[in-house]
Structure 1
């Protein structure tokens, strides 16, 4: 992991006014946001939250069964959120958590009502706009018993050449029988550094499905969320699609701890480097039986770059069932020849294989977000065939 100097970023004085109507945002910024999966003109959402640099500029809910607030207001309203705020993340874990604890800019607090099935997604956006902005975020999500929620979070910078830093803390609480689907799409700049810190806990019969998509250049990203399956029958499933163009350094993965019987853990990653570096990690620890876990890391090297797959399985009791599958390589020539024999030229065959490899259909994303990701894959194909 590269050394990040926090003195390179501005952590004070980058406030912005409230934006009542998000459709009034400039066209260029809308385009950056849509590539991060955020449609500010969308009406089919249950709530919307937007943070720009150091300010929460928009927050509102259209569904009485889901509460969405700026984290600072939630801390005031609920006397510091003693059951949730810094209960899973250690303030002193590293310099980034300490800095966020000492100088919090914002973030969201999302909580469902018990038994509520929130049909439309909550849409959130964490946006870097001012050059050299350092953004400290703390998000808390509470999915109450037997409730269901899908959050789509888009993280983006103002333009491709942007320089800045995003430092986000997230704590997830999935109560008994609850279901959280959390989809994150990143669209950073080539000089942006990113240090998320995430911990979650899933109780009896609960499930956490996490989708992560990063297809644009980022200077340096390091992320390693940890999820504790603490209740019988709890499930965690992580799906990720990562592309590292030249100049990108991505070190990411997932750690799932199975602390109860009949839990299931799965991480599936698809990575492509077109010149950058990807370190793809996965760690499943089985501490109770029966428990089942699987790690799958698949990587393609196109036009240079480096992929390092690091799957780890750790069983601490007899009877756990843990497995992994990892592969890093190139597109098989016989696959290209097979498609060429059916009428495609070499570029078309290569593009077809890449699209299939980066298939995100398993994520169950909203149609509009799925379409935007497919568009980014098409752009990747076009660039590779030039």
Structure 2
């Protein structure tokens, strides 16, 4: 990866931190239009149409929080700690001593969301949340807790972005997922940070018997550096985890992204699918599957394209501790095949159109759980990203 250690490991002392005092908005439609546009770029709609609720943090202030559908709780993590006993959840998955960023997050005041679907509730519309940085050179510290109670279904669109004028910032996010027996949680995270923003999410999830966790991660815009490696524990019989990621890195960006699934119970299943493109940046695409018991199935697939000079590392890992596990992996890094380009050009496309068509197909992973409106928005963003590439 890059020799610039400052880019990979930003110094916390270089950033401002602490509470901020942005005015709370009871009506999200009153938001600044420039902010609304950035929210929409990461799937968060200020109109709140077809949303079960909304939660937005701006710098270190709760900007807006609303629950629109019965059966789901949405509030700030500080409110949730006052209202509920969360001692069995908070900091049980993420070790505060894991690294300097988790230690800092543990010691500093944090804001973030608490989202919970109540037992047996099928939440039809997605909940939307946004973690937004406006203040220059600011270190945002959030702690998020998501609980899908037994037999419930919950979908979350989580957008992370910075204001159009912002140049530099730091985001440290602690997120803990708990998927109870027979519950289904679909979580889609979309990043649009900025060329000199450093991002350090730390995420752990637990899935009980018959539960399903679907995690989609999309980063198509420039970012200074991103380092994340979420870990999910499949602890109950028949639990399932599916991870999909789409990564694009332009010059100056460093993306260190991996997913880890630990299969701890019989008949558990896991799938990790990664698509990555570099046109000048560095990408480390990782995935790790750990089988601790017999009768588990898992597959890992990492594919990367290099369009311009950059670095692409694909590192799949399989770790089996007992007989009777069934795990596989596939990894490929390369360039666009000239024969594919020639084939499309022979059918009337220009070279640029041919390459664009191939890139679009490469990024077109069938992401489960995406609302149709968000899928259309992502198609538009992919189209805009292609223009930047060429």
1:136 aligns with 141
- Does the Cα contact within 8 Å between 1:55 and 1:105 map onto a contact in 2? no
C-alpha distance in 2, partners of 1:54/1:245? 29
Deviates more, 1:125-134 or 1:32-41: 32-41
2:150 aligns with 145
2:372 aligns with 367
2:387 aligns with 382
- Does the Cα contact within 8 Å between 1:336 and 1:349 map onto a contact in 2? yes
Give 5+ residue unaligned stretches, structure 1: none
C-alpha distance in 2, partners of 1:107/1:360? 29
1:3 aligns with 9
Question: Residues 63 and 103 (structure 1 numbering): CA distance in 2 closer, same or farther, change over 3 Å?
Answer: same
- Does the Cα contact within 8 Å between 2:136 and 2:166 map onto a contact in 1? no
- Does the Cα contact within 8 Å between 2:318 and 2:327 map onto a contact in 1? yes
2:331 aligns with 326
Figure out how many residues of one structure are paired with residues of the other and give that number.
Answer: 384
1:13: Cα distance to partner? Answer: 4.5
* 2:343 equivalent to 1:338: yes
C-alpha distance in 2, partners of 1:340/1:332? 13
Task: Give the 3-state SS of the residue equivalent to 1:314 in structure 2.
Answer: strand
Task: Give the 3-state SS of the residue equivalent to 2:223 in structure 1.
Answer: coil
2:76 aligns with 70
* 2:201 equivalent to 1:196: yes
Question: Which of 251, 261, 267 is 1:262 aligned to?
Answer: 267
1:364: Cα distance to partner? Answer: 3.5
C-alpha distance in 1, partners of 2:215/2:19? 34
Counterparts of 1:57-206 in structure 2, within 5 Å, are 57-79=63-85, 81-159=86-164, 161-206=166-211
Runs of 4+ off more than 6 Å: none
Report Cα offsets for 1:4-41 as digits up to 9, x if no partner. 20011111243211011112222222222211111112
Task: Give the 3-state SS of the residue equivalent to 1:15 in structure 2.
Answer: coil
- Does the Cα contact within 8 Å between 2:140 and 2:172 map onto a contact in 1? yes
Deviates more, 1:367-376 or 1:117-126: 367-376
C-alpha distance in 2, partners of 1:360/1:309? 17
| Aligned alpha-carbon RMSD (Å) | 1.2
* 2:61 equivalent to 1:55: yes
Deviates more, 1:66-75 or 1:341-350: 341-350
Question: Residues 90 and 246 (structure 1 numbering): CA distance in 2 closer, same or farther, change over 3 Å?
Answer: same
- Does the Cα contact within 8 Å between 2:218 and 2:245 map onto a contact in 1? yes
Question: Which of 25, 30, 35 is 1:24 aligned to?
Answer: 30
1:119: Cα distance to partner? Answer: 0.4
- Does the Cα contact within 8 Å between 2:135 and 2:166 map onto a contact in 1? no
Counterparts of 1:225-374 in structure 2, within 5 Å, are 225-374=230-379
C-alpha distance in 1, partners of 2:192/2:305? 21
- Does the Cα contact within 8 Å between 1:161 and 1:190 map onto a contact in 2? no
1:113: Cα distance to partner? Answer: 1.1
Give 5+ residue unaligned stretches, structure 2: none
1:360: Cα distance to partner? Answer: 3.8
C-alpha distance in 2, partners of 1:376/1:182? 19
1:41 aligns with 47
Task: Give the 3-state SS of the residue equivalent to 2:48 in structure 1.
Answer: coil
- Does the Cα contact within 8 Å between 1:106 and 1:136 map onto a contact in 2? yes
TM-score in terms of structure 1 length = 0.97
2:212 aligns with 207
TM-score in terms of structure 2 length = 0.96
Task: Give the 3-state SS of the residue equivalent to 2:204 in structure 1.
Answer: strand
